[in-house]
Structure 1
Amino acid sequence: MSELRGVGIGLGVAQGPIVRMAEAMPAPENIPSTAGADAERARVRDAVSIVASELNERGEAAGGSAQEVLEAQAMIAEDPTLQDEVDTRIDAGATAEWAVHDAFAGFRATLEAVGGYLGERAADLDDIAQRVLARLRGVEAPGVPNPGHPFVLVARDLAPADTALLDLDQVLALITTDGGPTSHTAILAREKGIVAIVGVADGEMLTTGETVIVDAASGVVTREPTDDEKARATERAAARRSADSAPPTPGALADGTPVALLANLGKPADAADAVVRGAEGVGLFRTEFLFLSSAQAPTIAQQRESYRELLAAFPGKKVVVRMLDAGADKPLAFLNDAHEENPALGLRGLRALRASEDILREQLTALAEADASTEADLWVMAPMVATVEETVYFTTLAREYGLKTAGVMVEIPASALLADRVLAHADFASIGTNDLTQYTMAADRMLGSVAGFQDPWHPAVLRLVREVGDAGARLGKPVGICGEAAADPLLAVVLVGLGATSLSMAPSALADVRHALSERTPSEARSLAAAALAADDASSARTAVAALAAELPLHKKETTS
């Protein structure tokens, strides 16, 4: 028996034979075209059109975050700038295959250099290029294999188009050698409830046909497991299925201390699934879906109807709506599309909204009108708040529109370090761990080359979370977590130990986090948090907390009257 380690997604466990995913197709040779430029251009346009249609169809079938990702991929495939780059190479005598390969590679490098939202899209280009090349060559695009039996899939990484439509009756678990806890693969695996371990450094050792146990809770892949180990894994998987099928209960620690478990949602249609899974409300509603697909800002009436649909799904429950989080890294022609050398540090979030205050005021108007006609408890918050002055500006403006609960996102170290002064004016704080980690570690969260720094377990990030938690406790103000960190069951307990009063995540992660919290007392959560803070880096923090958690007794949540 031997073990390989990575970052587990959720608490699941599975076992089965490995099937490795085929490597990408080799690059085409740069040979002159014999068909002529017109014929080569026509071949490319046909191939791109078919690939874009397939991506959109997969998105419609998958729904949720996967649909957003795949629709974005389809848009990239048909990007006019990219098409111009392909045409330039064809006009110089290249074949369609070489033109696509070289143009996509160049475009990928450009997007990586830009970073931010566009940098995130860079990694998707490899998958799009492979699909277009496969169409040009008349072969199947590299993708998830179909061996005819259930299996554990091993891959370098998985394209969003493949992750979105994994057959969960066949794919027992997923192991990747690349990626981290905030990668597309990890996010989509969590959303779909796939047992997964990402970033397994020695994953290339795994061979097709060998049986492994994939334990996401511990982040361990066990090779050549014994019969006893297989039996224990089977029992754990059965117990987890039983727990998942039980009616959901409110989030709480073992002694009954409440910890509200909320959902991160991207559009009103996602609300039904969150309710079924036991979400106690919404901790983050992203309003970008209304804006990013439009050439101009949506009207107040259009916004009001979307907000009303969302609020109506959660009568009597808290719904936290984030104001438009866009700007230089997600350019909008009607907001700010000016080129910036470093868009992650540019005019984004509340900064962009202040520069176009009419858009902010229209959002607040629509939210106030939707709130007046529904029974949810509406909270609003501003993204990317850096200063006390910005806090005062937003909360004053929100109250001007009759919105009674106004808070801020803590995503910048400055606002975390001044949390006591920020919370003196804001009604609550919501910590966005994805961006907070990015800015703390000076590592673009969309850039694969620095993905190793983008880990919310880092003690520097957790110290900032503690600053906000302590300030909230002193001032009696709620402190929520709405980044991907909240969906990590073990890290969720640590975050509560640091002072978080609510956790918001993808709905599919609610059951695992609910279970993890129910096994720990408040003092144990604080002890686990202390162990993480005492570590020197993210990896040792995760290891230290896991080791201490293994030593602590497990509790059953006490019932309260």
Structure 2
Amino acid sequence: MTELRGVGIGLGVAHGPIARMAAPLPAPEDSPSTATPEEETARVRDAIAAVARDLETRGETAGGAAQEVLEAQAMMAEDPALEEEVAARLAAGKTAEFAVFDAFASFRDTLSAMGGYLGERAADLDDVAQRVIAHLRGLPAPGVPDPGHPFVLVAKDLAPADTALLDLDKVLALVTTEGGPTSHTAILAREKSIVAIVGVHGAGDLADGETVIVDAAQGTVVTSPSETDIAQVERRKADRAAAAAAPITPGALSDGTPVPLLVNLGKPDGAAAAVELGAEGVGLFRTEFLFLSSAQAPGVEEQTKAYTELLQAFEGKKVVVRALDAGADKPLAFLNDAHEENPALGLRGLRALRASEDILREQLTALANADAATNADLWVMAPMVSTVEETEYFVAIAKEHGIKTAGVMVEVPSLALLADKVLAVADFASIGTNDLTQYTLAADRLLGSVASFQDPWHPAVLQLVKATGDGGRVHGKPVGICGEAAADPLLAVVLVGLGATTLSMAPTALADVRATLLTHSLDDARRIASAALAASDAASARSAAHEAASLPKEIHS
């Protein structure tokens, strides 16, 4: 028996035989085409169109976040700049296959060099290229194997098109050698409630047919398990199923301390499903969906309609809306499309809104209108705030427009370190753990090569969460968590122990987090948090918390 470690997604556990993703298609040879450039061009256009339509169809079938990712891939396949790159190679007499391979590779290298969101999309571009080349060769698209029985899928990483349509009756669990807790694979696995561990070193050496236990709660892949080990897994699966079927109750610790469990949403149409899963409100509503598809900023009327739809779905509940967070990975032509060498450190979030204040004023007006037309409890927060002065600015302008509860996101270490001063001004703070981790450890959260640094368990990140929680306690102000960290059940306990008063997450994570909170008191949470804080790195912080929480022991030989 051996044990491999990675980052577990959720609390799930599964066992079964391994099936590995097939290797990528071999690169086409650079040999002259026997067809005319016109004939090869027609072949490429047909193949790209077929792949784009297939991705769109997969997206419609999958829905949710997967649909957005797949539609973005389809747009990428038909990008005019990429089409020009392919055309240049076809005009030089290259084959359709080589022209696609070489042009996509060149484009991918350009994106990789940009880093950030565009850098992360480089992997998606590789997947699109593979699909187009497979179509040109008359071969099945590369993807998930089908051994004819349920299996544990092992892959370097999964393309969004593969993750979106995994057959959950066949795929028992997912293990990847790359990726981090905020990668697309992790986010989509969490959304689909797939037992998953990402970033597992050594998983590439696992053999097809080998039986393993995939324990997301422990972040371990155990080979050659005994019958006793497998029986324990089955008991844990039954216990989780029973907990999931139990009546939904408000989030709370075992001593009755309330911890409202909220959801992160990107569009109003996800509200009904979130409420059904027990969401007590919205901890992060991303308004970018209204802006990203527009050549110009949407007007007050259009925004009011969308915000009203959201608030009506959460009558009587808290809804925290984030003001437009553009820039970095979400540039907008009408707001901040100027080239920046390092956009993650540039004109983004509130910085961009202050530079185009009319857009901020219109959004605040629309939010106030929606608030007046509904009975939800609207809170509005500014993204990418780094100073007390910025806090004062946003709170003042929000109040001027009739927003009753105005706060800030803590995503930059400077704001956490000044939390006592910030929360003397703001009505609340909400910690975006994805960005806070990125800026604390200087590791782009969308760049796979530094995924190992993108871990919210790192004691440096936890110290900043504690500083923010302490500031909230001093002033009697709420401190929420709205990053992916809140979806990790044990980390959720730690965050409460550090001073978080609410937790917001993907809807599918609610049941696991609710069940885990109920097993610990506030004193327990503070003790577990202290154990994690005393560690020197993310892995030891996670281990210390597990030990302090007296969770089920890991499986050992």
Fold shared per TM-score above 0.5: yes
What residue number does 2:147 align with? 147
Letter in 2 for 1:231: A
* Aligned residue in 2 for 1:81: 81
Deviation sequence 1:480-499 (CA, Å, 0-9, x none): 01011111111111111111
**1:189 is matched by which residue type in structure 2?**
A
Counterpart contact for 1:328–1:338, Cα < 8 Å: no
> CA contact under 8 A between 1:484 and 1:505: conserved in structure 2?
yes
Is 1:199 paired with 2:199? yes
Aligned residue in 1 for 2:182: 182
Task: Give me the whole-angstrom Cα distance separating, in 2, the residues matched to 1:64 and 1:488.
Answer: 20
Distance 1:453 1:550, change over 3 A: same
**Per-residue deviation, residues 457-509 of structure 1 (Å, max 9, x unmatched):** 11111111111010001110000010111111111111111111011000001
Deviations 1:395-438 (A, max 9, x none): 11111111100000110111111111111110000000111111
**Which residue pairs with 1:379 in the alignment?**
379
Tell whether 2:404 aligns with 1:404. Answer: yes
Residue 113 of structure 1 corresponds to: 113
Partner Cα distance (1:120, 1:301) in 2: 35
CA RMSD between the two structures: 1.3
Deviations 1:69-96 (A, max 9, x none): 1111111111111111111222222211
* Deviation, structure 1 residue 552: 9.6
Matched residue, 2:23: 23
Match of 2:306 in 1: 306
> Does the alignment pair 1:14 with 2:26?
no
Residues 29/436 of structure 1: CA separation in 2 closer, same or farther (3 Å cut): same
- Corresponding residue of 2:446: 446
Matches of 1:16 and 1:117 in 2, distance apart? 35
Task: Please give the residue correspondences for 1:314-325 in structure 2 after superposition, counting only pairs within 5 Å.
Answer: 314-325=314-325
2:287 aligned with 1:287, yes or no? yes
The AA in structure 2 aligned to 1:445 is R
Deviates more, 1:345-354 or 1:112-121: 112-121
Deviation at 1:443, TM superposition (A): 1.2
Match of 1:481 in 2: 481
Q: CA deviation at 1:177?
A: 1.2
Q: Which segment is superposed worse, 193-202 or 106-115? A: 106-115
Taking the aligned partners of 1:158 and 1:375, their CA distance within structure 2 comes to 42
1:214 and 2:214 aligned: yes
Q: Shift of residue 548 of structure 1?
A: 2.3
Match of 1:558 in 2: none
- The letter for the 1-side match of 2:90 is I
Superposed, 1:238-253 pairs within 5 Å as 238-253=238-253
Which amino acid letter does the alignment assign opposite residue 315 of structure 1?
A: E
TM-score in terms of structure 2 length: 0.97
How far has the Cα of 1:551 moved from its partner?
A: 6.5
Whether 2:27 is the aligned partner of 1:36: answer no
The answer to whether the 8 Å contact 1:328/1:339 transfers is no
1:102, distance to aligned residue in structure 2 (A): 1.5
| C-alpha contact 1:274 1:507 (8 A) present in aligned 2 | yes
User: What is the SS of the residue equivalent to 1:464?
Assistant: helix
Does 2:248 align with 1:264? no
Q: Separation in 2 of the partners of 1:241 and 1:167?
A: 20
In structure 2, distance between residues paired with 1:363 and 1:404: 15
Partners of 1:198 and 1:374 in 2: CA distance: 42
- What are the Cα deviations for residues 230-281 of structure 1, in whole angstroms up to 9, with x where unaligned? 1111111011111112221111111010111100001001111110110110
Whole-Å separation in 1 of the counterparts to 2:431 and 2:106:
36
Name the counterpart of 1:100: 100
The secondary structure found in structure 2 opposite 1:174 is strand
User: Would you say the 8 A contact 2:437–2:454 is kept in 1?
Assistant: yes
Which letter does structure 2 place at the counterpart of 1:286?
R
Q: Could you tell me whether the CA contact under 8 Å between 1:328 and 1:337 is conserved in 2?
A: no
Take 1:271 and 1:543, find their aligned partners in 2: how far apart are those partners? Answer: 35
How far apart in 1 are the matches of 2:203 and 2:482? 31
Q: Name the CA distance, whole Å, in 2 between partners of 1:128 and 1:301.
A: 38
Q: How many angstroms does 1:337 deviate by?
A: 0.7
Say yes or no: does 1:490 pair with 2:493.
no
CA separation of 1:551/1:311 partners in 2, compared to 1, >3 Å: closer, same or farther? closer
| Contact 1:13 1:214 (8 Å CA) reproduced | yes
After TM superposition, the structure 1 stretch with the greater mean CA deviation from structure 2, 528-537 or 380-389, is: 528-537
Determine helix, strand or coil for the equivalent of 1:291. Answer: helix
1:497–1:528: 8 Å Cα contact kept in structure 2?
A: yes
Secondary structure, in 3 states, of the residue corresponding to 1:282?
A: strand
* SS class of match (1:46): helix
Q: Give the Cα–Cα distance (whole angstroms) in 1 for the partners of residues 132 and 364 of structure 2.
A: 43
State the Cα distance separating 1:206 from its structure 2 match.
Answer: 1.7
Find the residue that maps to 1:445 and give its secondary structure: coil
1:435–1:265 CA distance, 2 compared to 1 (3 A): same
TM-fit CA distance, 1:327: 2.1
Deviation for aligned residue 1:121: 1.5
Give CA-to-partner distance per residue, 1:333-369, whole Å, 9 cap, x none. 1111111111111111011111111111111111111
Give the SS at the match of 1:470: helix
Contact 2:117 2:328 in 1 (8 A): no
Q: State the distance in 2 between where 1:173 and 1:444 align.
A: 27
CA contact (8 A) 1:329 1:348 kept: no
2-side partners of 1:54 and 1:299: how far apart? 34
Distance 1:452 1:221 in 2: 18
Secondary structure at the aligned position of 2:550 is classed as: helix
> Which residue does the alignment assign to 1:556?
none
SS for the counterpart of 1:327 is coil
Give the letter for the 2:365 counterpart.
Answer: T
Q: Distance in 1 between matches of 2:221 and 2:446?
A: 27
Deviations 1:358-405 (A, max 9, x none): 111111111111111111100000000011111111111111111100
Tell me, yes or no, if the aligned pair for 2:16 and 2:151 is still in contact at 8 Å. Answer: yes
Deviation at 1:229, TM superposition (A): 1.2
Once residues 339 and 93 of structure 2 are traced to their aligned partners in structure 1, the CA distance between those partners, rounded to angstroms, is: 33
SS in 2 for 1:25: coil
Is contact 1:328–1:336 with CA below 8 Å preserved after alignment? Answer: no
Residue 329 (structure 2) aligns with:
329
Q: Distance in 1 between matches of 2:156 and 2:111?
A: 21
Counterpart in the other structure of 1:55 = 55
Q: Give the structure 2 partner of residue 391 of structure 1.
A: 391
Q: Which runs of 5+ in 1 are unaligned?
A: 554-561
